[in-house]
Amino acid sequence: MFANLVNLFRYRGLIQSLVVRELKARYRGSVLGFFWSFINPLLLLLVYTFVFTVILPNDVKGLQPYALFMFCGLLPWNWFSSSLTEASGSLIAGGNLIKKVLFPAEVLPIVSVLANMVHFFLGLLILLAFLIGYRHWPDPGDLLWFPIAVVVQLIFTAALGLILAALTVHFRDIRDLLANLLQLWFFATPIIYYWRQENVVRFKPLFDLNPFTHLAISYQEILFFPGPFGHWKWLLSLGVGSIALFLAAYWLFDRLRDSFAEAV
């Protein structure tokens, strides 16, 4: 297994070019092309702004502008959920490669996660532009934590992506199940509501069990709330847990590897 993990590092050239291909191919043929990666989050942000200033005005103090607060959690969530959705179908979509070419299958879900990470970064630029536009400066000291949050999320997402990809080959039901599960997970995570709200704090132990809670809170604290960043213990524990999860996921993937070429 560890030999294979080392191989994964050797495939970085392949992963890199596949990610680039994925990004290039996604908007090939559309008029705006790569700009969609900016326009999509921009439109999303405008929709949320409209909803939470006109339709459901939210005037909780300290959470203004509310759309921006939500966006801090929503962008990483989108990265997470579309990564998992794509990763779970990645082996089936890449069936030709697995069946016909000697190809390291684990590359495929990881490419899904990384390609979506690039979209996350592009959306982040929009978020930053708006934060600056609203004169809502993030704390520079907190920003040092940002890369750490990204790395933790990357490992966590990759681990789940590997597990889902491997299992979906055998149980196609997972893809449908996953869509609904993600929907539930989204609302169970303090993204569109504030985790210090009274009715959330009451269930804090439950929320703490949800790994994405800590990612969402971390992003919100780093990007939206004034410092200092108080959630770092949770973030680091999640990081350690994610590494363990990734190793377990890789072990599972490795165990199932030989069945892919036949079951895809």
Binding flag, residue 9, other proteins (CB under 8 A): no
Binding flag, residue 255, other proteins (CB under 8 A): no
Q: Specify the DSSP class assigned to residue 32.
A: S
Instruction: Provide the minimum distance between the beta carbon of 193 and other proteins in the complex, in angstroms, as a whole number.
Output: 32
CB 39, CB 126: distance < 8 Å: no
Structure tokens given for 179: 């869509």
Residue indicated by tokens 């536009």:
133
Rule CB under 8 A: choose which of 103, 146, 185, 232 binds other proteins.
103
d(CA 122, CA 116): 10
Structure tokens given for 225: 């709330």
Which range touches other proteins (CB under 8 A), out of 1-9, 25-33, 108-116, 219-227?
A: 25-33
Query: What percentage of the chain's residues is helix, strand, coil (to nearest 5)?
Result: 80, 0, 20
Of the pair 16, 237, the CB lying nearest other proteins is at: 16
d(CA 140, CA 61): 23
Site string for other proteins, 146-175 (x = CB under 8 A): ------------------------xx-xx-
Closest CA to 149 of 225, 217, 67: 217
Rule CB under 8 A: choose which of 3, 13, 135, 209 binds other proteins.
13
Of the pair 22, 139, the CB lying nearest other proteins is at: 22
Instruction: Provide the minimum distance between the beta carbon of 127 and other proteins in the complex, in angstroms, as a whole number.
Output: 29
Instruction: Provide the minimum distance between the beta carbon of 103 and other proteins in the complex, in angstroms, as a whole number.
Output: 6
d(CA 78, CA 48): 14
Q: Give the residues lining the site for other proteins (CB under 8 A).
A: 13-14, 17-18, 21, 24-25, 28-29, 96-103, 170-171, 173-174, 258, 261-263
